[in-house]
Copies of this chain bind each other. A is one copy, B any other.
Amino acid sequence: MRNQGQRLVRGTDVARAAGVSVATVSLVLNDRRNVVLSERTRDRVREAARRLGYLPNRVAQSLIQGRTRTVGVLLPSLASSFVARIADGIETAAAAAGLGLLLANSRHDPESEDRQLGILLGQRVEGVVLVAGEGTVSTLGKRLERLQQSATPFVVVDDETHGHRGDCVVSDDRQGMDLAVAHLASLGHRRIAHLGAGSITSSALARLDGYRAAMARLRLRVDRDWIEGDAFRSADPAASLMRLLRARRPPTAVVAANDRHLAEALPTLRAAGIGVPGDLSLVGYANYDFASYLDLTSVEQDPEVIGAKAFGQLLSRITDGPSKPARIRVPVRLIVRSSTQAAFFRS
């Protein structure tokens, strides 16, 4: 539309070219099997459509069919590769189901997220995948309410704290922390500390929770000064890590909620003469590509699957309607590299 100059080909044009009516064009091109059309007409129409490069106007189709074959994806930013890969997973699944993707970006701003949501709803998307993020997560409830009122199916990704209002898909952070802690314990570590993500997202909280649960399951005590880098003192991961090492009973291993914090703290560790894994074992989280270059043992997530599951759940809501909210946790796996090592000689 708004094609300066040559106007786009319409069904009418094809009809005229084929010497039939628009109705027939529609019948032929949509392969309506219940009506019987002569082969000759079918061919003539198809030929004319091909020759003119006719593409049925999906806007008009949407209007009359009452469905847009489009879902909305509302995310905080594509700058995060985790989020981008989730979007990739959603797109792939949606394309396979014949649905298009309307992408909107809140730029971590609740007001913007609200405005974007309005646009998506105005476009009459058939459903919305809402990827939570720092900045918007605390007021997410409002937007979910709005979605509910509009009776538009939706799925929340990367936040389960608001999950009671509908479906959500998250990475299994508790499992990840359990794998990390169990791995260290199996290497003989007993004094395992946690370097938090410095965030209030449900992921960060679940990782902290998962750390505590794993330690409890393995009957390992957690000293009060073994947890650092919560939402309020995350500014400097290196400083946080060094604080951990000054604990009354210094840890022999640290599980971090994020590879990045570890990577940033590494030079400080080196400067302090603390060898990894000789003096300290480290497990990261997210398995960013630099984890392999830095030889960091890390928990790998699967954002593409998260996206695919989110779309799958959304699709079943669109076709089957609402029912009991689902909470889907996508499994993670531990990638063992050389930042972790047995702690025999320390106990």
Contact = CB atoms under 8 A, between A and B. Distances in A.
Interface of A: 1-6, 8, 53, 55-60, 62-63, 65-68, 70, 73, 77-79, 81, 84-85, 87-88, 91-92, 95, 100-105, 107, 116, 118-119, 121-124, 126, 149-152, 260, 263-264, 266, 288-290, 293-294, 304, 318, 321-322
Contacts of A264: 293
Contacts of A104: 91, 95, 100-101
Contact of A78 (B63, B65, B78, B293): B78
Given A2-B67, A3-B150, A290-B294, 15 more contacts: A4-B322, A53-B149, A53-B150, A55-B121, A57-B122, A58-B123, A59-B68, A63-B63, A81-B81, A92-B105, A95-B104, A101-B103, A266-B293, A293-B294, A294-B294
Nearest to A320: B4
A60 B62 CA distance: 9
Number of copies: 2
Interface core residue of A5, A122, A288 (most chain B CB under 10 Å):
A122
A66 B6 contact: no
Interface core residue of A55, A65, A67, A123 (most chain B CB under 10 Å):
A123
Contact of A107 (B87, B92, B119): B92
